[in-house]
Amino acid sequence: MNTAPLATDLLDTWLDYWSHVHVTGIDLGLERVIPVAEKLGVINPEAKVLTVAGTNGKGSTTTTLAAILNAQGFKVGLYQSPHVYHFNERVKLRGVEVEDQLLIDAFVEVDRARRECDLSLSFFEATTLAAFVIFKNELCDVWVLEVGLGGRLDVVNVVKPDVAVITNIGLDHTDWLGDTIEKIAFEKAGIIRPNIPVIFGGQQDIPQAILDKTAECNAPLYAINRDYFYEAFEDGKTWAFASSGTTLKLPTGSLALDNISTAVAAILLSVLEVNQTAIAEGIQAAKLPGRFEVREIQNKTVIFDAGHNPHGVEFLLKQLRNYLNYKKKYKEVICVFSMLADKDINSVVKLLKDTVHLWKIAPLSVPRAAEVTLLTDALQGELIEQFDNVKLAFKSALDETENNQLILVCGSFHTLEAVWEYLEECQ
């Protein structure tokens, strides 16, 4: 499709257009993107920019950053990916998803700029640049940007950050980023710029690639458990943040403390003036679907978690065990489960095996879906029920689960999305 839609066309028409302009959906590299970004005037915004990369925890960290800054009264543009329910979730102003027309108008600008440069853009490149156009046109004070894939060659990295955050490094997207922690860390470290504060929030030794990049850029590096710390209190409602010269007592919130504390560290190390009241309010306001999201559905407790790699599932298990210890009534976990074929299914299953009593599995209805045989091979020796699709698997879980059983939906954002679609259909 070479003919661009009009400003009066539907958002879905534009999204379909961007999915066909370029030959591939993912095309790492900034050679094509930079000329378009320069023409659009988004590379060096007047706003302050906080960029977050990492294997897991980016969504929670960016959500918390934006919520705190919104609570302080800044006009914040938040860019995240992927979306869960609908595309507009990727672009928020003051915590609110943007309207379709704002996106469409930005798409018109991006398409005009790329044609003037005689370049094609992938779906992700075009839609990311559109978010930047919106933040520029809406005169946002702060841009909070989540890196999509890697960092060094990701389109988000065309914008120069004032603070760089790397949440953690794990083995994921190895086909694109490399098959070792150091290779992946090198890609993530690509967001670091000269003389800006860098926050590393991984519960691991700091990779050498990050140490090398910060030294090269003369960028001060602050690491969790070395330069800043957190400790949860026994009441479950409060926790303490501590760094040199700063100690704060704060509310727990609904997201993971690793990521909340990293967001707080980033705020305190930025030049933005934010008080403790705004930090507390932002933490309590920060919500994110699919990150250990606990819901009551038809009097059954359901936990949604988008963990789709070993690092993410380890984190899920940590939260789940704490939850089961706190809620003594649950004796068994029933798991509605599916994954993408290019993920480490065997490692994810191995981590979950000791916790899950019964697996209800089904194939996803997306191109990269794992076939049921891949799932069953990984689940050999486990108690399994197979279904034609995830919606049927979840319906079965709701219908058959006892009061002492908890339902866990996990394995992929697409697994969660299928269940959420089913719940919408039931309303």
Instruction: Indicate the DSSP class of residue 369.
Output: B
Q: Which two tokens stand for residue 265?
A: 């560290």
Tell me how far CA of residue 346 lies from CA of 317, 382, 416, in angstroms: 16, 13, 20
Helix%, strand%, coil% for the chain, nearest 5: 40, 20, 40
Half-sphere exposure of 353 (CA within 13 A, CB side): 14
pLDDT score recorded for residue 1: 46
Q: Which two tokens stand for residue 421?
A: 């679609």
Q: Which helix (H) or strand (E) holds 184?
A: helix 181-188
| CA-based radius of gyration for the chain | 21
CA distance 284 to 278: 10
End-to-end CA distance of the chain: 37
pLDDT in tens, 208-220: 999 999 999 999 9
Q: Which residues pair with 369 in a beta bridge?
A: 340
CA distance 162 to 141: 13
pLDDT score recorded for residue 319: 84
CA distance 229 to 265: 9
Residues 6+ apart with CB under 8 A from 335: 352, 356, 358, 359, 360, 407, 408, 409, 410
Q: Which two tokens stand for residue 315?
A: 């984190």
Q: Which residues of the chain have pLDDT under 50?
A: 1, 174
CA distance 376 to 71: 47
pLDDT score recorded for residue 178: 55
Domain residue spans in the chain?
11-285, 293-426
Task: Return the CATH architecture of domain 11-285.
Answer: 3-Layer(aba) Sandwich (3.40)
Nearest to 349 by CA among 325, 303, 319, 381: 381
CA distance 416 to 406: 16
Instruction: Indicate the DSSP class of residue 313.
Output: H
pLDDT score recorded for residue 310: 87
| Domains 11-285 and 293-426 fall in the same CATH topology | no
Query: What CATH number belongs to 293-426?
Result: 3.90.190.20
pTM over 0.75: yes
